Structure formats: structure tokens, C-alpha cells
Amino acid sequence: MAYRVITGNVVPDHATIARFIVRHQDALADLFSEVLRLCDRAGLVAPGVVAIDGTRLAGSASKERNREFGKIAEEIVEQVKATDEAEDEEFGQSRGDELPEQLRTPEGRRGFFREARRKLAGENEDEDVAEEPEAEASAEPELEFDPERIVARTQGRKGWLREADRQLEQHRWENPDPVVRSRPERLLLAAERLEADLAAERAGNEAYEHYRQTARDPLGRRLGHPPNPYHPFEVPAGKVNVTDPDSKLIKASEGYVQGYNAQAVADQSQIVLAAEITNSTVDWSQLEPMVAAALAELARADSSSRIETALADTQYWNEQHMDEVVANQHMQVLIPPDGGASGKQRKGWTGGRYSWMRYVLNCEVGEKLYRKRKQMIEPVFGHSRHNRGVTRFHRRGRKAVRSEWRLMMMTHNLTKLHRAQIATMAA
């Protein structure tokens, strides 16, 4: 009734609401912290023990729209060609399905993308684009590799490639690209994503080979024979979604979907302390970031409560993250090393940390604590998916999807606060 009075009993147009959300998405995402502050003042926040988990939700994209670089480049080339005669003249007696010479080298691809964006910008000068942010080409980050950190964590070439991917993904989070409606611009964005992936792979391999050639062991000796030379692909490999390049093909409860992995941290009263999203299908790299996010949200809410124990399922087993959380955040982490319905011990996971964690979880205190995990975090996802009908995201791009997820979890907390106030008044 209050809403109808404020609006003068006028039903708002869905497009008006959509434009409002786009225009104020950063402020709406920050409302999560404000509602958490209200919950803390009402005495609802009790983060002594928290549970961390994620749910896979489909995005506003179809998995059938994942394209290889060649297909994307082919469509881009077709759009910038004036006539079929110009295409025949360019390819000559060739088959006609080869990539143009300009798209066969990294330098040529960058120049082609810049020129295509310049032409698109000229075509859109007279159009009204106030409702959508202008898409800009993403600058490739300057990758920096710390050999001591990489070698201490993992051995071999894969460690350097993972570090390159991590820095590239971090750069994309800090400099998100808007996903606009214009298909030509989305095609360019998708092609540039694949080009950046290839550049990161090249940088990681070059750094690894340089390390192997120059590093020495503690006795000053070379590190064995040189590594096998890396032969980069001529064009970027892999696929990217041309509808929402930030989304990934991930495995959900209903099968593989094109979407995101929505993460949340909840306390014992099912108040969500942190809500973030990732496009990684696995959870093993999310423990430390989600703990840090929860602590940051509590700090923004001016809460004096602290987290003592973090609970997560076996997918979050990451020894590096567990050590960082225990050492830097001074909290205990309970994660079972064995997963699945059978609960059988994994092959090779014996002794040391594995046996110690099994011992802790089997003792009375550990078992009692870990039993709380499902009743803390699972109802949050169950209520959102089944009761509220939230089964997919409606916006595109990691920044927009993050804002949407935080808005969902903010309303979850707001509902908890509303019911608590009603119960207090009734008492």
C-alpha cells in the first residue's frame, strides 16, 4: 500500500526500472553494505561461525553462442566489407575461408580492431547512446611474475600460465568492459578477449622459459636441461560467448549453463555477509577472496563482530588459501578433504593436513560445528532459487551481474530484518 501511495497508483514501466538500474548499478550494489549495517544494529548478525558456498546461475546468454576466433573474425570481416566484389578481390584465387593476412599476427589484429572500433564510433556519432556506456577497447595488462612465489606454490610451466591467467582476470575485474547492445561492438569485444588470452599465454611461457634459462639452484647450478620450446598458436584458441563475453560455460545442478558462479557467505542466522560472483566453474580458488570480502563488508557495516570459524565444502580445499586465512585472518577453517555422496577417502590424500582435518571433523566439537554448514548457507540458495524463482541473471557483464547478485542478497537480508522487526513488535 505504501508503494502504491508513493507512486500515485501508477504502474511503473519495466523499461523505466531497467534504465534506473543501469544508471545507478554501483549505488545499488553498495546498498548491500547499508542493509547489512541495519541488520547488525538490530542484533541479527552473529558471524562467529560462517559458511561459504556458491550456486551456479545461468546468465543472459546462450551456450550456443560460444564462438571460435575464426568465426568471430569472419563475421567482423563480413560487416566491414562493402561488397562481395571487394571480398573476391581481397582473397583472389584462395578458398575464401582463410583469415585475412592482417588477422594472422597479434600486431595486425590489434590494428584491425582499432580501425573497426573507429569506424563504429563514426557510425554511432549521431545516435542516442545515453542509456548505454560506450564500449572501449581493453588495454592488455603488463604482467609481472614473481619466480619465488610461483615456484614455491607449484612447479612447472602450468604454474606460470595460471599466474598469467590470474593477473589477466584481475585486470578484467578492475577494468570491466560494458556489454553493449550493438552486435558489431560485442563481436570486437569477444575477439579482443581471445587475443588477450593468447597474449597472456605467450607472456607466461616466455617468463617461464626465461626463468629456466637464468635461474640457479642453491649451489649455483643450472636447473637441468632447458624446457621444450613453446610454439604459440597462429590465432587465439578457445571460445568466447559473443552475447556476454564475461560469462562462461559452467556445470550447474541442471546441467551445463552459460552463466556465473554466485558466491555467498552466511552466518548462523542466515544473514548474508558477503555476495560476489565469479565466472570460474570451480570453487577451489574462492576461499580466501570470500573470507576477505566478508571481513570487508563487516568493516563497512561498522560491526564489532569477528569471524572465528569458516565452514566450506570439499570444493574449497585449497591449502594455500587455508594457510593464508589461518595465518593472516586468525580464524579456523573446516573443510572436509573427502567429498561426494560416498565420502570415500581420495587416493593419495593421506597423512599430514588430510589426516588432521579428518580427525578434527570426526571429533565431537568439529562434527558439531561443521553440521551447521548446510543449515546456514543452503537455505539461502534454496529460498532464492525455488521460493523467489531466481534461476538466472538478467543482465550482461561481470559488473552488471555482480550488482544484480548483491541486490538479490540485499533483499534477502532486508526480508530477514523485516520479519525480525515484526516478531519484536508482536512480542
Domain end marker among 230, 245, 260: 245
Could you tell me if 79 and 196 lie in one domain? yes
Could you tell me if 394 and 368 lie in one domain? yes
Please state the rounded mean pLDDT for residues 160-186: 86
Could you tell me if 187 and 258 lie in one domain? no
Domain end marker among 193, 213, 245: 245
Given a contact cutoff of 8 angstroms between Cβ atoms, the answer to whether 357 and 31 are in contact is: no
Could you tell me if 286 and 215 lie in one domain? no
Domain end marker among 214, 245, 276: 245
Summarize pLDDT for 65-100 with one digit per residue, the tens.
999 988 888 888 777 765 455 555 655 555 555 666
pTM: 0.82
The range of the structural domain enclosing residue 119 comes to 64-245
Tell whether the model's pLDDT for residue 229 goes beyond 60: yes
| Band (399; pLDDT cuts 50, 70, 90) | very high
Could you tell me if 31 and 154 lie in one domain? no
Q: Enumerate residues 6+ apart whose C-beta is below 8 A from 290.
A: 52, 263, 265, 274, 276
Count of the separate structural domains present in the chain: 2
Could you tell me if 263 and 156 lie in one domain? no
Percentage of the chain lying above the pLDDT 90 cut: 39
Could you tell me if 257 and 108 lie in one domain? no
3-class secondary structure, 143: coil
Residue 78 CA, chain-centre distance (Å), reads: 32
Percentage of the chain lying above the pLDDT 70 cut: 87
Please state the rounded mean pLDDT for residues 246-266: 91
Could you tell me if 152 and 179 lie in one domain? yes
Residue from 255, 262, 259, 277 nearest 377 by CA: 262
Could you tell me if 172 and 238 lie in one domain? yes
Query: Between residues 362 and 227, which one has the greater pLDDT?
Result: 362
Tell whether the model's pLDDT for residue 198 goes beyond 60: yes
Could you tell me if 420 and 325 lie in one domain? yes
Could you tell me if 166 and 315 lie in one domain? no
Angle, helices 106-123/69-80, rounded to nearest 10 degrees? 40
Could you tell me if 170 and 294 lie in one domain? no
